[in-house]
Amino acid sequence: MAMMAAFAASTPLPSDYIKTDSRMFFSYHPENTSFQKGYLGVGNTTISGTLHIRFPQAVEAKNITLNFIGKETVEWVDLKKVRAEKIIINRSIYLWQSASELGHELITDLDLPFEIEIPEDAVGSFDSHLGKVQYTLRATINRKPRRKKNSVEVLVPLCRWTIPKEQEMRPLVIKAHARNRKIPLSWQAILPHVFFDVNSETLIKLRLISNNSDLRIRKISSCLKTCVRYCVDDRGVIPVQREKRHPKHTVSGKEIMVTPMGSDTIFEANTIVKIPSNIPPTGKTKYMVVKNKIQIKVTFERSRRSVMIMRDVIVGRNFLDDKSAVDMRESMDYFSGTELNFDSSNEQA
């Protein structure tokens, strides 16, 4: 890995390599900080970079191939071990081929740039409890004599973006009344939207009303919960489901505004829901269904009972809010108004 020192700012980390060879390594495109170029899900996207080869002594090589492989894998134990795998992408190109009539030639130092297009429907990388979607680049030098090879393989994290629908970005008010409840409490929660961006925080406004003057709230805890359902196929294997609660935010009773109003007591508070950077986005693959939901738990003083507020939300990468996508948004017809003009001309016709 010593050769990578000069490229440190534009190369994968040593821990990203699945298979290493001290004489071969990758670097990103000079303008990028990852292999991915473009916004998958919105526009054309490629994997680009350069393979660097540094042999201290010349070796006889026939060709050098590059494979970009995407794979979905699920695995768990249900009476017996269950495993399923699907190849999402398998692209192979020649980076270099011998032009000699002998079929091979000597090589020492080579810098081989590459660019491979990603299908528009490719799933973003993620790793859940019992399954994952993972992409890799594998470079192989096919040498003489036959079957002698050198290879290196590295992880390629792939991000996917979304343009949320208009209704997904509108504020949402969810309510519940105290009728037939063991705790005499009505509540209202205001979500600023139902599309939550990866690696963000969202403020939710709460208003709770009780006709029990002695009722006091001890704390309010809020978090995002991810639920993944794993199901391989119709081979009689029982589907499994796993839930994960992400870091929570807590509001103590002292931070809650309490206002008496006639026979009712009104509680008002703001709580925060944190969306981690490594969360599986809401979506569906061949073997997995990922759902995300807001969970707000209200607990009371001198009582073991609690109120749970739940709401399904969508988690993804919001292309419209991504600061790094400003230049691309400005250059796209979708945002420049070209489509609106086109639609208007059609109506006139």
Query: How confident is the model at residue 63, as a pLDDT?
Result: 95
What gap in Å lies between CA 7 and CA 17, rounded to an integer? 15
Same domain, 14 and 136: yes
**Six token digits for residue 231:** 């199901």
Dist. CA 340–CA 349, nearest whole Å:
14
- Domain for residue 299, yes or no? yes
Tell me if 328 is assigned to some domain.
no
Q: How far is CA 278 from CA 40, 158, 268, 312, in A?
A: 17, 12, 32, 19
SS3 348: helix
pLDDT in tens, the chain (349 residues): 445 544 555 899 999 999 999 999 999 988 888 999 999 999 899 999 999 999 999 999 999 999 999 999 999 987 788 999 999 999 999 999 998 888 889 999 999 999 999 999 999 999 998 999 999 999 999 998 767 899 999 999 999 999 999 999 999 999 988 666 677 889 999 999 999 999 999 999 999 999 888 889 999 999 999 999 999 877 678 889 999 999 999 999 999 999 999 889 999 999 999 999 888 999 999 999 999 999 999 999 988 888 999 999 999 999 998 888 887 887 765 554 434 333 333 333 2
State whether 146 and 175 are in the same domain: no
316 lies in the same domain as 183: yes
Q: Which amino acid is present at 54?
A: R
Residues 33 and 91 in one domain: yes
User: Is 236 in the same domain as 302?
Assistant: yes
Between CA 72 and CA 82, with CA 78 as vertex, the angle to 5 degrees is: 30
Nearest to 26 by CA among 80, 70, 77, 67: 67
Whether residue 242 is found in the same domain as residue 151: no
Total domains in the chain come to: 2
Q: What is the rounded CA–CA span in Å between residue 259 and residue 200?
A: 31
Examine residue 335 and state whether it is found in any structural domain, yes or no: no
Domain span at residue 117 reads: 2-155
337 found inside a domain: no
- Half-sphere exposure for 141 (CA within 13 Å, toward CB): 27
Dihedral in degrees, nearest 10, Cα atoms 135, 141, 142, 144 = -160
Round to whole Å and give the CA distance between 173 and 221: 19
Please count the CA atoms within 13 angstroms of the CA of 282 that sit on its side-chain side: 21
**Residue 192 to residue 181: CA distance in whole angstroms:** 27
CATH at 10:
2.60.40.640
